[in-house]
């Protein structure tokens, strides 16, 4: 293992890029991905880079939260805005190895600013890296790559299942809407439930293993369809001292502010903070219909929101969102189709969570040499 300066390992590419606001509207919806610090933000009909690169967040939520990867591995033709650094590596470091490396190191001493964290080029150039020989990098990449490959396969399966469920929802309830179905409001389909936050000044109100308590921030970090716990639980005492409400598995969680529209399904009994107006579906309606209906109604709900500092949909507002109430036969047909899909998606998301934890535990040990792979024949 040898220690190298930043410029021995990393090649920073020119930041001669154009923000999306400067791209003509006619270029939208093209075949090429447009990246920002957090990932793909649009598709346009032009590109600046063609090949395999790493994009490192210069600012944004990934730096602020420190809970997500700050680097993205991208391949093909793409455009990128001014909120990400474009990086390749020299011949002493595999590009994918550096992708894992940069996502595992502690960046605290390199990030400036608290309210708006920033990772500048000058700060990055202060970094140094300890690297094994290329053959060791290859072995580590093979071990970790097999885990990532399985995660990717599971994600593709879930994506395909999601497309099937969404297609049937649109077919049954949007394209072929029955004129005899009744008009109603969202509260006709289930119970609308708000949330609450125990006092942050009382540490005994919180617990690592207590009652699941979800915040919008949890859904911003966890992109899964199903959620069982947030970053921290609340204790029974904290629950009793707040306006939080316990909701059953299958509840559709809907963030009502900061921002409006994070949607997930409770995998077990949960509570939320006051940033939610969740829906406990009526027994004859079911989770699947409410979940896809809320996704479909999101533009309408955002249009009903109010507020000067940030937009919010009130409890009264979300209860009054207009909906069409399908007949029991159509709902039953949709739920019967979605039940095995949801079950498989939940299983695969749980498997990916376990695989991610295994990978993230192994990586630092492999990269530091704590786990020696030099004698392993791969």
What are the pLDDT digits (tens) for 150-198? 999 999 999 999 999 999 999 999 998 899 999 999 999 999 999 999 9
CATH number of 2-131: 3.90.220.20
Average pLDDT rounded to a whole number, residues 366-375: 86
Report how far residue 196's alpha carbon sits from residue 110's, in angstroms, rounded to the nearest whole number: 36
CATH 1.10.10 fits 135-175+329-378, yes or no: no
Task: Report residue 315's pLDDT band, with 50, 70 and 90 as the boundaries.
Answer: very high
pLDDT, tens only, 38-49 = 888 888 888 889
Task: Report residue 17's pLDDT band, with 50, 70 and 90 as the boundaries.
Answer: low
DSSP per residue, 348-370:
HHHHHHHHHHHHHHHHHHHHHTS
> What's the confidence (pLDDT) of residue 16?
63
> What's the confidence (pLDDT) of residue 75?
94
> What's the confidence (pLDDT) of residue 137?
95
CATH number of 191-317: 3.90.220.20
Statement: residue 15 has pLDDT above 70: no
Greater confidence (86 vs 25) lies with 86
> What's the confidence (pLDDT) of residue 43?
87
Statement: residue 66 has pLDDT above 80: no
Query: Shortest CA distance to 202 belongs to which of 235, 246, 231, 243?
Result: 235
Question: How does strand 260-266 pair with strand 226-227?
Answer: parallel
Query: Shortest CA distance to 277 belongs to which of 242, 235, 319?
Result: 319
Measured over the CA atoms of residue 101, residue 106, residue 109 and residue 112, the dihedral's sign is positive
Query: Shortest CA distance to 248 belongs to which of 268, 224, 228?
Result: 268
Q: Supply φ then ψ for residue 5, to 5 degrees.
A: -75, 165
Task: Report residue 21's pLDDT band, with 50, 70 and 90 as the boundaries.
Answer: low
Query: Shortest CA distance to 96 belongs to which of 62, 71, 66, 68?
Result: 71
> What's the confidence (pLDDT) of residue 39?
87
Question: C-alpha distances in angstroms, 310 versus 208, 215, 257, 297, 306?
Answer: 30, 16, 7, 20, 8
CATH fold match for the domains 2-131 and 135-175+329-378: no
Report how far residue 29's alpha carbon sits from residue 378's, in angstroms, rounded to the nearest whole number: 43
Q: Please identify which residue in the block is written with the tokens 């609340």.
A: 234
pTM of the model: 0.85
Q: What percent of the chain has pLDDT over 90?
A: 71
How do the domains of the chain map onto residue ranges?
2-131, 135-175+329-378, 191-317
């Amino acid at each position: 293992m040898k220690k190298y300066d930043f410029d021995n390992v990393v090649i920073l590419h020119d930041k001669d890029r154009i923000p999306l606001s400067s791209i003509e509207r006619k270029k939208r919806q093209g075949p090429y991905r447009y990246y920002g610090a957090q990932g793909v933000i649009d598709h346009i009909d032009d590109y600046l880079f063609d090949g395999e690169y790493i994009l490192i967040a210069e600012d944004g939520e990934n730096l602020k939260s420190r809970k997500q990867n700050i680097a993205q591995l991208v391949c093909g033709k793409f455009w990128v805005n001014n909120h990400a650094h474009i990086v390749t590596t020299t011949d002493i470091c595999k590009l994918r190895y550096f992708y894992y490396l940069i996502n595992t190191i502690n960046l605290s001493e390199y990030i400036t600013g608290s309210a708006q964290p920033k990772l500048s080029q000058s700060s990055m150039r202060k970094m140094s890296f300890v690297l094994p020989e290329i053959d060791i990098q290859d072995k580590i990449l093979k071990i970790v790559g097999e885990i990532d490959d399985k995660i990717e396969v599971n994600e593709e399966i879930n994506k395909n299942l999601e497309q099937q469920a969404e297609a049937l929802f649109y077919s049954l309830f949007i394209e072929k809407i029955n004129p005899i179905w009744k008009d109603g409001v969202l509260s006709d389909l289930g119970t609308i439930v708000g949330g609450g936050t125990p006092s942050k000044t009382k540490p005994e109100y919180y617990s690592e293993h207590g009652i699941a308590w979800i915040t919008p921030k949890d859904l911003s970090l966890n992109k899964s369809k199903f959620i069982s716990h947030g970053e921290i639980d609340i204790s029974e005492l904290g629950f009793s001292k707040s306006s939080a409400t316990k909701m059953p598995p299958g509840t559709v969680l809907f963030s009502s502010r900061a921002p409006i529209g994070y949607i997930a399904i409770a995998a077990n009994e949960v509570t939320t903070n006051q940033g939610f107006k969740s829906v406990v579906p009526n027994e004859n309606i079911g989770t699947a219909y409410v979940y896809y209906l809320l996704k479909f109604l999101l533009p309408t709900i955002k249009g009903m929101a109010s507020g000067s500092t940030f937009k919010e949909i009130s409890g009264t507002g979300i209860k009054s969102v207009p909906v069409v109430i399908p007949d029991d036969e159509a709902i039953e047909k949709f739920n019967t189709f979605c039940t095995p899909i949801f079950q498989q998606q939940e299983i695969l998301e749980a498997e990916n969570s376990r695989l991610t934890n295994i990978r993230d535990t192994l990586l630092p040990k492999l990269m530091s040499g704590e786990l020696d792979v030099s004698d392993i024949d791969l």
